[in-house]
Amino acid sequence: MTNKPDSVDQVVVDLQARKRLGYERYGIALNVDTDKDMLQEAYEEAMDLCIYLRTAIEQRANVK
């Protein structure tokens, strides 16, 4: 056994950190009153995720 938090607990810790970062950057947490287009924001984040995943795949392939 390890003393590391389980995956769900780690996600909670990460979300709390993101909330703090949002307050530091924008002075407010994200809420329904935002002017941002949440679908567009999510789409752009998903594209970034694809790039990160592809880069990690290429890095792993180069290690072999």
Q: Where are the domains of the chain?
A: 1-33, 34-64
State the SS3 of the chain. CCCCCCHHHHHHHHHHHHHHHHHHHHCCCCCCCCCCCHHHHHHHHHHHHHHHHHHHHHHHHHHC
Report the pLDDT averaged over residues 54-63: 95
Q: What is the pTM of this model?
A: 0.71
> Could you read off the pLDDT of 15-24 as tens digits, one per residue?
999 999 999 9
pLDDT tens-digit readout, 31-56: 999 999 999 999 999 999 999 999 99
CA dist., res. 51 & res. 58, Å (int): 11
Kindly indicate the confidence band of residue 1, based on its pLDDT and cuts at 50, 70 and 90.
low
